[in-house]
A = this chain, B = another copy of it.
Amino acid sequence: MQFADAKFNRSYLLLSQKRYSSAVHNMEQTILLPSLLRDVPYDDDDTLDCEAAENNKDLYECYLQLKAIKNTVESGLVPHDDAKGKSHAVLHKSLEPLLEADPEALFHFHLRGLFTVMASLTKKSQSLTKKYLDIIGVSH
């Protein structure tokens, strides 16, 4: 399957994945003491919600989630022990009309969805990095 490799290297999906991976890599390199993020509450003004408002997550949990998603992005594999029962029940309930749609539309829907989620997560990683620099008093 070597013939197609060059094409995929220019793929916008791959570029979007690399952008996210790079943002989390930068976050990991910058945040040397992640524990400083513990108990730091969600701030309404930025994009760092990570469902914090609903689940009372602190920024440390947000940091762990962004790192976990990076592993999934790089391996391209959904973890087998992904037992987010409640969320998935909601997601699957809404799948029914999708299954009846035509395959091209369904493919576009999921591709668009991945782009949107990854762009949002990339912003979150960058915001979290800035937030950490604020906490340790480094101007940026």
Contacts of A1 in B (CB 8 A): 18-19, 21-22
Q: Determine how many copies of this chain the complex contains.
A: 2
> Contact at B3–A25, with CB atoms within 8 Å?
yes
Interface of A is mostly: helix
Q: How far is the CA of A107 from the CA of B88 in the complex (A)?
A: 11
> Contact at A95–B94, with CB atoms within 8 Å?
yes
Chain A interface (Cβ < 8 Å from any Cβ of B): 1, 3-5, 7-8, 10-19, 21-22, 25, 50-51, 55, 65, 68-69, 72-79, 82, 84, 87-88, 90-91, 93-98, 100-115, 117-118, 120-121, 124
| 16 A-B pairs (CB sep. < 8 Å) | A3-B25, A7-B75, A8-B18, A11-B75, A16-B76, A69-B103, A69-B107, A72-B107, A72-B111, A78-B115, A79-B108, A91-B101, A91-B106, A106-B113, A109-B113, A110-B114
